[in-house]
Structure 1
Amino acid sequence: MTRIYGERADRLRKLFEAAPDEKFTNQVLFERMGAASVGQAEERKNIRNTLPSLVRCGFLKKDGLGSGATYQSTGNAKKRPKATPAELAERKRQRNALRTAQHAVRTRAARVELQAANTPAPAKLKAVEPGETVEQFLARGGRVQRLVATWEQAA
């Protein structure tokens, strides 16, 4: 989720938390979010795009379709509270430690061994028995057609 999208969702949540029993149409939402004026079409579109995700996560309830649809708070809080910068840094540190540990286990010898185990064995070639020579073929009554090479045609 992008930062701007998250900020817009937070602003919408606060708007609905301030009036939990009130039903909002798109137009009322636009007015309360300050996006009802001319030149704010992009912001209105972004608000309309944010609302379905709030419905899917159970924060809002939608009644109706199209421009007559109304949205109301369900009273459900966010499933996961917003992490503080310290918590985000700790998660990143844990992720990097796990990644480093996994990389240390995968030494070159282990990678070579894994590659050898996953490489199919070469197919064994059957012993080739010698065939007959051209002279033997002609002696049997065979006929040989000789094709002229391109460099012989130029002469």
Structure 2
Amino acid sequence: MTGPFSSESAPHRAPTEEATAFWDWATGETLRHSGTRIEEMCEISHLSIRHYQRDNGETVTLLVISPSKTNRERVIPMSGELFHVIASVIRRHTRDGSPVPILRRFDPHDKVWSPPMPFLFQRKIVSTRSVISPASVPSRIRPPSGPIASGQRPEAQRG
């Protein structure tokens, strides 16, 4: 038997596929709206989000990027789009009422482990939770291969 409910369709993979789609979206959108480098994005933690109140009472949400390539901390005012992405990531981690999980992250350039922090770009695969590796990000943001990605129209594939 084949079809949507057969054992061949692997319905048990749906949560994994949804998680992959979410992290692909969150990674691409964060990079696009923040202008950060991949390694900087992977280092964003819940502690990177700050609020600043202007003299007129308006509150601005800021994303603080840890020193890396330039050895200088950068502060980025969050656009509505970036705020939406970061809020979605935080909501995903805290939806069961618990705080963002605390993890250590290995820095492959400096070859050191970070102190435990609530990194936002982390995910759970099976039972292991880890920070998303900068090496895995390019494959997340690369466009899918196939006729549409190569600019060919699907009807051109018919014989």
Fold shared, TM-score > 0.5 on shorter chain:
no
Instruction: Tell me which protein shows more strand as a share of its residues.
Output: 2
Max radius of gyration: which structure?
Answer: 1
Instruction: Tell me which protein shows more helix as a share of its residues.
Output: 1
Q: TM-score normalised by the shorter chain: which range applies?
A: under 0.3
